[in-house]
Amino acid sequence: DVLSRSLADREAKLAELQQQNASILFRLAHGNAHRTNKALNLTKFKKGMNQTIQTLNVLIAKYPSYVEISHAYYMRGKSYEELENKTGASKDYLYLVNHFPLSEDTTPAYMSLAEFAIEANDHPKAITYLKEVEKHPEDPHYPFALYKLAWSYYNLKNIPMALHYAETQIRFY
């Protein structure tokens, strides 16, 4: 109903503002550390990101049929990623790509999942995610996915496929 939509919109906007605030706190912390030559203190940034996650938890729990719920999952995944919680981020990204395959946030979610797999030296899994991005040559992530595909195949010692993706990226540009 209209009231539920309005309340869900408020929660979504609050989460967006909290995430922006945390981003500003991140930059301020880095500037302060550089200016004072002291250790980097990300306490306020982490608190801001956790507030974002809490707000998104409420939005997702109370309004599961909210028209922009896929974006809420992406935002929460991104917040987890910023806090280096790859388990939480992966869970939200996988939910997003499996339940909302047509969402505009699906491709960046696949890119993050691929990056997590590459960091874990799981190149076959990374290739699976990157091939989903490859299906969308109009997406700005496409050339970066080609680059990552080339390196993943190279790391698997599949030089012909590595060269194929390197050449495909070169042709793209």
**Contact 112/145 with Cβ under 8 angstroms?**
no
pLDDT in the model for residue 108: 97
For residue 27, the SS3 value is: helix
Count of C-beta atoms within a 10 Å radius of residue 111: 20
Question: Any residues with CB less than 8 A from the CB of 49 and at least 6 apart, and which?
Answer: 19, 22, 79, 82, 83
For residue 13, the SS3 value is: helix
pLDDT in the model for residue 5: 82
**Contact 12/71 with Cβ under 8 angstroms?**
yes
Burial class (CB in 10 A: 0-12, 13-18, 19+), 172: exposed
String of b and e for 45-69 (b: at least 16 CB within 10 Å)? bbebbebbbebbeebbeebeebebb
Burial class (CB in 10 A: 0-12, 13-18, 19+), 148: buried
Closest Cα partner for 161 from 173, 149, 147? 149
Backbone angles phi, psi at 84, to 5 degrees: 65, 30
pLDDT (tens, 9 = 90+) of the chain, 173 residues, equals: 788 889 999 999 999 999 999 999 999 999 999 999 999 999 999 999 999 999 999 999 999 999 999 999 999 999 999 999 999 999 999 999 999 999 999 999 999 999 999 999 999 999 999 999 999 999 999 999 999 999 999 999 999 999 999 999 999 99
What is the rounded CA–CA span in Å between residue 153 and residue 85? 27
SS3 content of the chain, % helix, strand, coil (to 5): 80, 0, 20
